[in-house]
Amino acid sequence: MRKLIMGAGLAAALIAVGVYAGLVPAGWLGKSAARAERTIAAAEPPPPVVTASRVVMAEFRDTVLVTGSLVPREEILVGPEVEGLRVLEILVEDGDTVKKGQVLARLVSTALAAQLAQNAAALAKADAAIAQARSQIVQAQATLAEAKAAFERAKPLRKSGYLAESVYDQRQAAARTAAARLVAARDGLALAEAEKTQIEAQRKELSWRLAKTEVQAPADGVVSRRTVRIGAVASAAGEPMFRVIADGMIELDAEVTETRMPALAADQPARIDVPGVGWVEGRVRLVASEVDKTTRLGRVRITLKQDARLRIGTFASGEITTRTSRGLSVPRSAVLDRPDGAVVQVVIGDKVVTRKVVTGLGTGDRIEIKSGLALGDVVVTKAGSFLRDGDAVKPVLETAPRTSGVF
């Protein structure tokens, strides 16, 4: 470019010298000057073509990435409440949905039924003993009344001398004996009633044990694991017979880096990618109050929307939305980081103007502009770092993507 301009200038100077010396006609000077100007104009390159885009409105989300495994929100361990009985029947399998009170398994109840029959006989015997004791009380009361009456009649006869002392003593002793027999009869009734109460308590225990030979679901849920086998002796020690996911609720037990833990809070929305299932919506239920000193990771529990395809133990990853906003949007590549702050190069007419901007949230390949630009402004998207204020450019607009809430 510079050589062409210098050559054209040198040719014009030589023509001028020739005209002055009379070697070149004077009319050639104007024609040569015009021709030189056209040469210089033709030698100037066109303005560079740059990729540009308009400032548009968009939705933005600040997210925290999480990874972890699917676990039950609440796992119920179901075991036998009656020890030492063999398993007779199993009515559910892994993955079955159960209701509260539904029978999961049955235990052998023959021995308990026999004990309950014996108890019924003992209870009938106790009722008979109580009836007998009450009859004895009635008899003792009648005997006591008769003895007291005889003793009362003996008192005036003794004073008048018509009754011997020995007869008086006999009647007095008979009255005392009848009173003692009444007390004994009443004690016998109390003892019989106590024995009946004991037998009734035993009956309640046997009835309860017999009822517990049916192992029932304590709440609605989904059976996640069945470990019991037919013929095994039921025992509360060791592995439970069934594991039930309460209400079928499954959560993601996730890990988060310690620097992102302060941004998390309960009830924040989340999207979890479960292999083989896809994206599942959820919400943060619990944020741990501590960070592991070794891994520098914190834990968060995310309750997932119910889906029969979810399986506990599955690895999953996703994101938690911590903040959202709606504002002006430009591609990330349009924002240039400089020592004095972020800038964006705006195309006004065919010239580049550099403006300072304040950025906000970023989603995907777009970033929010809080100040410095207006809706509809044209900004240089690519190659902006090679341009300076006032440079002429030819912008080529690219279409804003119709994703991530861009409008």
Sequence-separated contacts (24+) of 258-262 with Cβ below 8 Å: 258/291, 258/296, 258/297, 258/298, 260/64, 261/287, 261/288, 261/291, 261/298
215 alpha carbon, distance to own chain's centre: 29
Q: Per-residue pLDDT tens for 108-142?
A: 988 888 999 999 999 999 999 999 989 999 998 89
Residue of higher predicted confidence among 385 and 62: 62
Average pLDDT over residues 372-379: 91
Question: In the structure encoding, which two tokens stand for residue 99, read together?
Answer: 């209701």
CB atoms under 10 Å from CB of 215, counted, come to 25
The mean-pLDDT minimum among 51-55, 324-328, 385-389 falls in 385-389
Confidence bin at 147 (pLDDT 50/70/90): confident
Average pLDDT over residues 316-331: 92
pLDDT value of position 24: 45
262's CB contacts (< 8 A; 6+ apart) are: none
pLDDT value of position 11: 47
pLDDT value of position 71: 95
Is 60 exceeded by the pLDDT of residue 14? no
pTM summary value: 0.64
pLDDT value of position 46: 81
329's CB contacts (< 8 A; 6+ apart) are: 55, 56, 57, 58, 60, 366, 367, 368, 369, 400, 406
By three-state DSSP, how is residue 220 classified? coil
Q: CA separation (Å) from 233 to 83, 85, 106, 175, 213?
A: 8, 5, 12, 64, 12
Residue of higher predicted confidence among 267 and 407: 267
- How are beta strands 366-371 and 358-363 bridged, if at all? antiparallel
Residue of 73, 68, 69, 187 lying closest to 137 (CA atoms): 187
pLDDT value of position 144: 86
Average pLDDT over residues 182-190: 90
Q: How far apart are CA 80 and CA 84, in angstroms?
A: 9
Average pLDDT over residues 140-158: 84
Residue of 283, 281, 280 lying closest to 264 (CA atoms): 283
**pLDDT above 90 coverage of the chain, percent:** 53
pLDDT value of position 37: 55
Q: How far apart are CA 243 and CA 241, in angstroms?
A: 7
Q: CA separation (Å) from 239 to 79, 106, 369?
A: 8, 17, 59
CB atoms under 10 Å from CB of 50, counted, come to 21
Cα angle value 142/146/152 (rounded, 5°): 145
Average pLDDT over residues 87-102: 93
pLDDT value of position 240: 92
Q: Per-residue pLDDT tens for 17-74?
A: 444 444 445 454 455 555 655 555 555 678 888 889 999 999 988 899 999 999 999 9
Is 80 exceeded by the pLDDT of residue 76? yes
Question: In the structure encoding, which two tokens stand for residue 63, read together?
Answer: 């997210």
pLDDT value of position 1: 41
Question: In the structure encoding, which two tokens stand for residue 47, read together?
Answer: 């303005």
The mean-pLDDT minimum among 25-29, 75-79, 236-240, 359-363 falls in 25-29
pLDDT value of position 397: 86
pLDDT value of position 297: 95
Q: How far apart are CA 399 and CA 334, in angstroms?
A: 14
CB atoms under 10 Å from CB of 332, counted, come to 13
155's CB contacts (< 8 A; 6+ apart) are: 168
Q: Indicate the average pLDDT of the chain.
A: 85
Is 70 exceeded by the pLDDT of residue 376? yes
Q: How far apart are CA 354 and CA 343, in angstroms?
A: 7
Q: Per-residue pLDDT tens for 248-287?
A: 999 999 999 999 999 999 999 999 999 999 999 999 999 9
Average pLDDT over residues 204-223: 92
Confidence bin at 237 (pLDDT 50/70/90): confident
Confidence bin at 396 (pLDDT 50/70/90): confident
Is 90 exceeded by the pLDDT of residue 317? yes
The mean-pLDDT minimum among 96-105, 107-116, 328-337, 396-405 falls in 396-405
pLDDT value of position 222: 94
To 10 degrees, what angle do helices 110-160 and 165-211 make?
Answer: 160
Q: How far apart are CA 86 and CA 107, in angstroms?
A: 6
The H or E element containing residue 94 is none
Q: How far apart are CA 328 and CA 341, in angstroms?
A: 18
